[in-house]
Amino acid sequence: MMPKTVFPLPPSLAARLLASAFLLSSAMPAPAQITPEPSPPKDILAANLDTSVDPAVDFYTYANGGWLARNPIPASEAAWGIGNLVRDELLAKLRSINEEAAKAGAAEGSEQRKIGDFWATAMDEAKADAAGLAPLSKELAMIDSIETVGGVLDASFALRSLMVETFCAVSVGQDEKQSDLMSVHIWQGGLGLPERDFYFNPEKGTAKVRQEYSAHLTRMLVLLGRADDDARKASDKVMELETALAKASRKLEDLRDPGANYHKMTPGGLTEKHTPLIVWQDRLAAMSLRPDSVIVGQPEFFTELDRLLKETSLPVLKDYLRLRLVSTYAPYMGKAWEHEDFAFTGKILSGQKEPQPRWKRVLEAQEFAMGMMLGKIFVKEYFPEREKRRYAELVEHVRGAFRERIEKLDWMSDATKAKAREKLDKLAVKVGYPDRWKDQSALVVGTDSWCGNMMLAARWQFADMISKFAKPVDRTEWEMTPQTYNAYYQPSNNEIVLPAAIFSVPGMKDSALDDAMVYGYAAASTIGHEITHGFDDEGRKFDAAGNLKDWWTEEDGTRFQKRAAVMVAQYDAIQPLPGLSINGEASLGENLADLGGVQLALDAFKKTEQFRKGESIGGFTPVQRFFLGYTYAWIYKDREENLRAKLLSDVHAPPHWRVNVPLSNIPEFHEAFGIKPGQPMWRSPESQVKVW
């Protein structure tokens, strides 16, 4: 499993991955028996329908097509959907918190003062322009002074304190095989494009991205003062270096095997066998790390890295370091840097027509810098205790449904079932916000520049990560803030973490949502999904204590793999863009979790009063509303550029198929919407994915 690393580009509050509006097939009239009755506007599920589409042909578009037709992607966005609406509501609340902090005149060093100073400084565009490259002057001078490969390595490791990833990734995190131990992880990395396949995929749009990336590097070097022709030649050489690093990197799907990416060795052994140029014991000691062993993800990458360091000319290595540094901090600098960063990452990679407003970009950067400080205020004002109780109880309903499913499995032995129940029972659950807030009192926030404050935040984050080495694992810590619209399963802790914002429905109060909607939207797409991650192709390799350990019988492991292979084939057959298919192997874990989440939540929903009563709302039965509620969670549409980037670098399938594929594998869905053999949303019992 890839170790968690922190990067200075802040996570988006719209962290749910956005989706494609590509239609699976031509529309057909909806069957009369499921045409909804006229419903009041407050019924958001009925309001989103496109009844010109047959749900048996393309359920995603039937359920969401009305919304998609009414809501074009704004010029400032790469995609648009429910997650964006939630994000905008969240950002408005966070902006209010910041504006109040900025005018409060709070005491120096207080959290409110830090929030206010960060906001006011980052919002000052003139100050950013005046600062120019000054915040990075020390680091750029360090790179300029390099005279040897050893100096290149000195600079590379020095830049890590600013969370600038050069050549590879180094982090401190839980040891996959000893979850109570914080170990040093060393992983492939150092690429400027999102993932290795961007450097090689022959698809026309991807080839254009490569060309535009090289031109972007040229313009960045010009901004650093290089002449046009010199900058163009230099960028070509840097592109050659990055392509060589990419060629040595493992593919996205190959990174999903935690056992194959776990190689424990001494720092000296890593140096001797793979990187004679990098004396890891000394390099780590300079980072205040003195481990007896390190966990290397991809040893062959480091063998090639050592060769590249030896054979690449010094000017190219220095240009590579300069570009990695300025690319990291360009979004927080003056207009010229902001514009160039947007010209590539915004327009070319994501398809945005114009940048997001500055205040939104500031708030998203602030999530990285001091998100937990904001979280304390956010949950007090916007996440009442009754909502936390509702969703904590919902977790237990879904957990109970999974326990019952394990008992009924006909392909799993009693021995493996006992281990599965143990893991499920020991699954830790975090809902809403941390019980203990992270101490950020040592974080310094200045008033000189936005870029300077992001550098200060990066140094604090880096120091915090390094400080965890050789200390007891803090299992109370959260890796997401409460105001993050996302959730996760952490295998080393065997826990699911559900931030307060993930339960938000735009424009609706939680008390107004019926159980069918909630069980589909929250229990299926999030709670059941994250629980299933503990038992997907990757999570299943960790035991109840969070250790990478095979607790399956050999026969059961083989049966699981055979059943999972059916899902790989289903997704491999889908081509959202001409020449680009969904990677069924890379997305397998998410796809299994999607299917499992719907199945578990549906089982739990069948025990509710709403299900038992069977009364229709908006013309739909409770079970139909459940499936519509799940589909509502994935209302998104992507620009082509953004969709391409996801297909090459994301382990999630586009949401259109996160709906249609799992639902087509569920008999209750076929029954609820009258799906018949031969129709696109139908799968015969023998062709369905049957894992949990």
**Residues 123-147 pLDDT 10s:** 999 999 999 999 999 999 999 999 9
485 with 575, same domain: the answer is yes
Distance, CA of 470 to chain centre: 28
Q: Is residue 438 part of a domain?
A: yes
Q: What is the mean pLDDT of the chain?
A: 93
CA terminus-to-terminus distance, the chain = 22
80 with 185, same domain: the answer is no
pLDDT of residue 13 exceeding 50? no
Rounded alpha-carbon distances, angstroms, from residue 392 to 93, 385, 496, 523, 688? 24, 11, 11, 11, 31
Return the CATH number at 168: 1.10.1380.10
Return the CATH number at 417: 3.40.390.10
Cα–Cα nearest to 536, from 597, 581, 601, 475: 597
Q: Is residue 32 part of a domain?
A: no
pLDDT of residue 536 exceeding 70? yes
Supply the pLDDT for residue 26: 29
561 with 484, same domain: the answer is yes
Query: Quick check: helix, strand or coil at residue 265?
Result: strand
322 with 393, same domain: the answer is no
Average pLDDT over residues 77-95: 96
pLDDT of residue 490 exceeding 90? yes
pLDDT of residue 292 exceeding 70? yes
172 with 305, same domain: the answer is yes
Q: Which of 310, 332, 354 is the last residue of a domain?
A: 332
The 10s digit of each residue's pLDDT in 439-467 is 999 999 999 999 999 999 999 999 999 99
Average pLDDT over residues 479-486: 97
Average pLDDT over residues 503-511: 93
425 with 545, same domain: the answer is yes
Q: Is residue 626 part of a domain?
A: yes
Supply the pLDDT for residue 126: 96
The 10s digit of each residue's pLDDT in 178-188 is 999 999 999 99
- The pLDDT-based confidence of 34 (bands split at 50, 70, 90) is very low
Supply the pLDDT for residue 362: 98
Average pLDDT over residues 294-319: 98
Q: Are 311 and 244 in contact (CB under 8 A)?
A: no
Tell me the percentage of the chain whose pLDDT exceeds 70: 94
Tokens 């047959």 belong to: 54
Supply the pLDDT for residue 42: 62
pLDDT of residue 20 exceeding 70? no
The dihedral formed by the CA atoms of 229, 232, 238 and 243, expressed in degrees to the nearest 10: -140
What the block records as the tokens of 332 is 């927080």
Task: Report how far residue 125's alpha carbon sits from residue 136's, in angstroms, rounded to the nearest whole number.
Answer: 17
pLDDT of residue 208 exceeding 70? yes
Beta strand 168-175 with 178-188 is antiparallel
Q: Is residue 52 part of a domain?
A: no
Supply the pLDDT for residue 187: 98
- The pLDDT-based confidence of 6 (bands split at 50, 70, 90) is very low
Q: Is residue 43 part of a domain?
A: no
Amino acid at 433: Y
Rounded alpha-carbon distances, angstroms, from residue 213 to 207, 238, 380? 10, 11, 44
Q: Hey, CA dihedral for 428, 13, 439, 391, is it positive or negative?
A: negative
Task: Report how far residue 646's alpha carbon sits from residue 657's, in angstroms, rounded to the nearest whole number.
Answer: 13
How many domains are there within the chain?
2
Tokens 């648009």 belong to: 80
CA-based radius of gyration for the chain? 25
Supply the pLDDT for residue 54: 98
Q: Are 159 and 139 in contact (CB under 8 A)?
A: yes
pLDDT of residue 112 exceeding 50? yes
Q: Are 361 and 206 in contact (CB under 8 A)?
A: no
Q: Is residue 322 part of a domain?
A: yes
pLDDT of residue 25 exceeding 50? no
323 with 372, same domain: the answer is no
Beta strand 488-490 with 495-499 is antiparallel
Give one DSSP letter per residue of 442-456, joined into a string: T----SS-HHHHHHH
Q: Give the residue, 36 or 479, on which the prediction is more confident.
A: 479
391 with 268, same domain: the answer is no
The 10s digit of each residue's pLDDT in 556-572 is 999 999 999 999 999 99
Residues of the domain holding 607: 57-89+363-455+472-687
pLDDT of residue 629 exceeding 50? yes
Supply the pLDDT for residue 128: 95
- The pLDDT-based confidence of 1 (bands split at 50, 70, 90) is very low
pLDDT of residue 12 exceeding 50? no
Average pLDDT over residues 401-407: 98
pLDDT of residue 21 exceeding 70? no
Q: Is residue 118 part of a domain?
A: no
CA geometry: angle at 542 spanning 539 and 544, to 5°? 115
Q: Is residue 627 part of a domain?
A: yes
